[in-house]
Amino acid sequence: MVELVIADIMSRAADNRAYVLLLQERNGLRKIMVALGMAEAQSIIFSMQGAHPPRPLTHQLFGSLTAAFGIKMQYALISSIVDGTFCSTILFEKDDEVHEIDARTSDAIALALRAGVPILITEELLNRTCVHDEHNGAISIPIHAVNEAVLRQAMDEAVRNENYELAKALKEELDSRHAATAEPETDN
């Protein structure tokens, strides 16, 4: 497992209600980008700044609830990616019993920050989804980390621009996603 830390959080230029969280491996250069809603971004920003709003936010309430019942969060794990969306689990412990709970990645990160526990990702997933810094200051995102709608739009644009090699690569990625979700045929 690789520990991640927050490198940056920013609003998307086209929509100030959507945010992007940039996570970087601790003591390393690899980074991933996670899309956030406004509420999750606000909770993460408050936690990073050590701010305490007058009334508890949802993630604060959850932390207080688990503490009141003796439940301790161990870590948040970014465990997979499905159609460009990261999926996560949170590991909790109570009375020597360990429970793994499915969570949205944004919530898992917000809770981990408040609990002061690590945000982890598997080595393989980090390698597959890390963004790459380009020479001009831009970044490139691996094809596995992009959702299907964006892939289809990019494929259509590649065809319009007669970049058939790129269009073929995008089509193969889309086909592989559909093959992975298709149910196997059975003989009756």
Supply the CATH number for residue 11's domain: 3.10.690.10
DSSP 8-state symbol, 143: G
Q: Which domain holds residue 167?
A: 147-181
Beta strands 119-121 and 72-82 are: parallel
- What pLDDT is stored for residue 101 in this prediction? 96
Q: Do 155 and 121 lie in a common domain?
A: no
40 in helix, strand or coil? Answer: helix
Average pLDDT estimate for 165-184? 71
Contact, 13 vs 134, CB < 8 A?
no
Q: Do 50 and 70 lie in a common domain?
A: yes
- Residue 77 in any domain: the answer is yes
77 falls in which pLDDT band (50, 70, 90)? very high
- Residue 187 in any domain: the answer is no
**Helix H or strand E segment including 41:** helix 38-49
Q: Do 56 and 117 lie in a common domain?
A: yes
Of these ranges, 84-88, 134-138, 176-180, the one predicted with the greatest mean pLDDT is 84-88
Contact, 76 vs 117, CB < 8 A?
yes
- Residue 188 in any domain: the answer is no
- What pLDDT is stored for residue 78 in this prediction? 97
Q: Do 30 and 72 lie in a common domain?
A: yes
Give the type of residue at 77.
L
- What pLDDT is stored for residue 188 in this prediction? 44
Rg (CA), the chain: 19
**Helix H or strand E segment including 165:** helix 164-181
Beta-carbon contacts of residue 161 (< 8 Å; ≥ 6 apart): none
Query: What is the pTM assigned to this prediction?
Result: 0.74
Q: Tens of pLDDT along 124-172?
A: 999 888 886 666 655 556 666 666 777 777 778 878 888 787 778 778 7
Average pLDDT estimate for 108-121? 95
Q: Do 74 and 159 lie in a common domain?
A: no
Q: Do 174 and 115 lie in a common domain?
A: no
Average pLDDT estimate for 38-61? 87
Total domain count, the chain: 2
- Percent of the chain predicted with pLDDT > 70: 83
**Helix H or strand E segment including 109:** helix 105-115
- What pLDDT is stored for residue 29 in this prediction? 85
Q: To the nearest whole number, what is the mean pLDDT of the chain?
A: 84
**pLDDT greater than 90 at residue 185:** no
Beta-carbon contacts of residue 69 (< 8 Å; ≥ 6 apart): 94
